[in-house]
Amino acid sequence: MQDLSSSAQSDAFSVGIVGASGFTGTELLRLLAGHPQLQVKVATGASKAGTRVAELYPSLAAAYPAMTYDSYDAAQLDGLDLIFCGLPHGVSMTVIPELRSRVGHIVDLGSDFRLHDPALYPEWYGAEHAMPTLLDDFVYGLPEFFRSELEGAELIAATGCNAATSVFALAPLLQAGLIQPHGLIADIVTGVSGAGRPPKENTTFCSVDSDVTAYGLLRHRHTPEIEQALEDFTGLNTSVLFTPHLAPLNRGIIATCYGRPARDGVTTADALDAMHAAYDDEPFVVVLDGSPSVKATLGANTVHVTARADPRTGLVMGIAVLDNLMKGASGMAVQNANLALGIEETLGLPIVGVYP
């Protein structure tokens, strides 16, 4: 086991990253380099084993000048306080059963354990779940809504960026009884980094530049995650039409969501009051009177939200923006890890975006 943090404190928690060579793993390494209580011990990257981190990601060279990606070896993770799994869909469910007995806590950034109902996996992901008996052991990792369940949790399924942004926009309006739970619409625009580091035909520069494309029409796999999170938080049976759009952005995501009013006379003041009631005490959420900007959250673990009620069309709108690699992935994973380990939730997480 290799100590990859020369400035680590003696009382730090030891952590590993399984799948550290992707974008989420890279963002985890960036955050953990400045975390006062989490010390990276192991970082695996199957396709990049033996490669220097600084060679693949020069941005990390100052923090990890000599570090190389390890091949995956479960025994190398023995005794770690916590591991992050940044693996492709379908892979986490094959390694976590063995890792569970070797480490203290696991935060999975993938989608393998987010859904409670195993029947949803063949319906939305096209394959049976390999370990359905483990689904009930995982806590859904959206701290602003399920914080008490995350404190001390052994197994955490971190929320996906699409679901998180949509839930941040819709949940307060539902909880306040301002919108009906059925026929909700969640339209998002997302950056290309959400598709991961390996190149794909639809994510090359020539494919995405000067273009915006809707995808996953009517059947996007993150739809049941959004509905489940809203239902678990509010107790309401919901239905959501979710449509993502790929835009020529490196990172960032904005969700513009709509619902029909649940009663007559819902105003913009009512909608904003619901947002303030939900988020004013949250360290990573900012309620704005104006329109949120994706760039304002770049590099921060912060969500910016607002809301409107339109008397002309009779619709209520919630908007949320975040950095898909931070609050939508690695930042939220660190926030979950802090809660699981019983340390200050905000440690190691920036709240100020990078601008310009």
| Residues forming the active site | 161
How far is residue 161's CA from residue 290's CA, in Å, rounded to a whole number? 22
How far is residue 301's CA from residue 174's CA, in Å, rounded to a whole number? 24
Which CB contacts under 8 angstroms, 24+ apart, belong to 134-138? 134/93, 134/96, 134/97, 138/108, 138/113, 138/114
- List b or e across 235-267, with b for residues whose CB sees 16 or more CB atoms inside 10 angstroms: eeebebebbbebbebebbbbbbbbbbbeeeebe
Task: Give the CA-trace dihedral at 9, 14, 19, 22, to 10 degrees.
Answer: -20
- List b or e across 47-58, with b for residues whose CB sees 16 or more CB atoms inside 10 angstroms: ebeeebbbebbe
Which among 324, 305, 310, 283 has a CA at the least distance from the CA of 172?
A: 305
Amino acid at 55: E
Provide CB contacts within 8 A for 56, sequence distance 6+. 21, 48, 69
Residues 109/330, Cβ–Cβ less than 8 Å: yes
What number of CA atoms fall less than 13 Å from residue 110's CA on the CB side?
A: 23
Packing angle of the helix pair 223-234, 161-175 (nearest 10 deg): 30
- Length of the chain, in residues: 356
3-state helix, strand and coil shares in percent for the chain, rounded to the nearest 5 = 35, 20, 45
In 169-248, which ranges are E strands?
184-190, 213-214, 240-246
Query: What single string gives the DSSP state of each residue in 84-136?
Result: EE---TTTHHHHHHHHTTTSSEEEE-SSTTS-S-TTHHHHHHSS--S-GGGGG
